[in-house]
A and B are shown apart, each in its own frame.
Chain A
Amino acid sequence: MKPAGVPKLNAIGYFIVIILLLGLFWEAYKLLGAPGGAFLRGTVPVVTEADKPMGVLCGSVGLCEVKLPVRADDRAMPHLWDILATIFQPPRRGSDTILLTILLRASLFTLQEAVAGFLMGGVLGFALGVAFAHSGLLERGMLPYVVASQTVPLLAIAPMVVIWLGGSWFSVAVIAAYLTFFPVTINTLQGLRSPEPTAVELMHSYAASSWDILWKLRVPAALPYIFTALKVSATASVVGAIIGELPSGIADGLGRVILNFNQYYATGPEKLWASILFASLTGMVFFLVISLLERLVVQRQVSES
């Protein structure tokens, strides 16, 4: 029996509730700030020791104010309605193009780069995983370098890629692929090794070829592992593409938009926040597409609940 009165929420319902709660938290935090935003509302200036309110720690002589960890003023944390409003206004005077159009175009452009990088990284990651799974020697010899590659900051790699390949759309995809391939390699390797020894023995008893064992046993068994990695990679590839756009001098993507609004933050903080919103939406859309693909491809046991 299901308890009455508790509505059953699906994933989308939870997502919306959490978004609303986060928004509520944001605005509630802003309410805590005294005018100016640096201090907790209600903490008062102290003139003498006797005026000091109970339980409040005072920093400097004459003042007793509780400092907020993050300033709550409209510059550091613009109101959500201001962020939403700015999306529907042109960001520059004398232009008719509203910010929404600019952000949608930039997001789509960056998403294309991310998808290209994702595909390149995914294929490379899968190929490396298969190679490592079949050769212990290759794994021992090369895996440390694959791991080491991920310890080099993307910020250092990105300009190198641009120097080698030129400041093009392709360079950005390569930079995104650099973030993408690693989780795919690791999870493919783990997934290919996941079948029980008897599942492999069964194949041997039929005198199955290595090719058949790979495609009829190991790869299907690895698919849930691979999709877990692909979901991580989908969001990572968007981050990689945004970072890759900066040294590539590509002006059409989210990277440049974020950089611009960052420089003019003081005059329009809402615009940067709106860009951040669209950057994360782009990553989420990609993630959702891969999740849907996973549902179509991976035949999974439905949890018995």
Chain B
Amino acid sequence: MTGPVVILDNVEKIFGEGASDQVHALKEINLQIEENEFISLIGPSGCGKSTLLRVVGDLIQPSSGVATVNGKSANQARLDQDYGIVFQAATLYDWRTVAKNVQLPLELMQYSRSEKELRTQAMLELVELTDFASHYPWQLSGGMQQRVAIARALSFEPSILLMDEPFGALDEMTRERLNLELLSIWRKTDTTVLFVTHSITEAVFLSTRVIVMSARPGRITADIAIDLPQPRNADTRSSVRFFELETQVREELRISEGGQEPERKPA
């Protein structure tokens, strides 16, 4: 396919009615995401990054502006089942086994029985949970639950993966391990990823581009290309370039939060 996977053209989102209750969640959002990119949205809480993700996924309608995905409207893209989605909470269905949770989208999209089994098997292998296929979600740790959610999101090979702080509720060590796992999955599946996070380290480590946002109104204030070499591994985090990029993102966040250059100490 040619052309960007996602084009946001002057997207605005205003919640609430009446001048006093209005919240300007998104303002003048222009963004293009190319195929196979890994884009992180980072910003202070309430900056509208989750809202932006939901506008791309057609879960929220923009007040104005247009979201185009794979050359069609976001709505058409959703109806065509172009999206895999992972939330901060794994959002597994308690009454389904791990395998049945992974199968949920396949079931809804009426895949054949053999195809369902085949893909579920492949996905569980991908996230290394084959032995847990017949367990129930509440028998798994938080990290394992999130891996099931990723397997579920990828089971039908969506062209774009939307992730809303998927590792936000996990401890640092689990998060770092899952970051590595996600990168390896991303390389294997050729998916385009839109990833919301509030961790600078995570954003820099995972992404090909980091988009920095500011709050009230939610705007894009910086677009930083992450030129760390691929494939990335545990050593990437200790490279000099990694620290430079981290610092750059941190500076941009400070500017966007304060709305001004960081204050200099008087000489």
Residues of A at under 8 Å CB distance from B? 196, 198-199, 201-208, 212, 216-217, 220-221, 223, 298-299, 301
5 sample A-B contacts, Cβ–Cβ < 8 Å, listed by A number = A198-B89, A202-B91, A205-B85, A207-B80, A301-B136
| Most B-side CB within 10 Å, residue of A199, A206, A212, A220 | A206
For the complex formed, measure the closest distance between the CB of B136 and the CB atoms of chain A, giving whole angstroms: 7
Report the nearest B residue to A209, measured CB to CB: B108
Residues of B at under 8 Å CB distance from A? 54, 57-59, 78-81, 83-85, 87, 89, 91, 93-95, 104-105, 107-109, 136, 138, 162
| Most B-side CB within 10 Å, residue of A196, A202, A216, A220 | A202
B93 in contact with A220 (CB, 8 Å): yes
B108 in contact with A201 (CB, 8 Å): no
> Which of these, A198, A207, A212, A216, contacts B87 with CB under 8 Å?
A198
Interface on chain A toward B: helix, strand, loop, or mixed SS? helix
> Which of these, B78, B83, B95, B136, contacts A220 with CB under 8 Å?
B95
Report the nearest A residue to B152, measured CB to CB: A202
A207 in contact with B81 (CB, 8 Å): yes
Given contacts A205-B84, A206-B104, A217-B93, 11 further A-B contacts (CB under 8 A): A196-B89, A199-B93, A201-B59, A205-B83, A205-B85, A206-B81, A207-B108, A216-B104, A216-B107, A221-B95, A299-B136
Contacts of A207 in B (CB 8 A): 78-81, 108
B104 in contact with A205 (CB, 8 Å): no
Contacts of B91 in A (CB 8 A): 196, 198-199, 202
> Which of these, B59, B80, B84, B94, contacts A204 with CB under 8 Å?
B59
Q: How far is the CA of A156 from the CA of B93 in the complex (A)?
A: 45
Contacts of B85 in A (CB 8 A): 201-202, 205
Contacts of B108 in A (CB 8 A): 203, 206-208, 212, 216
Q: How far is the CA of A208 from the CA of B79 in the complex (A)?
A: 9
Contacts of B104 in A (CB 8 A): 206, 216
Contacts of A208 in B (CB 8 A): 108
Q: How far is the CA of A204 from the CA of B77 in the complex (A)?
A: 12
| Most A-side CB within 10 Å, residue of B79, B80, B85 | B85
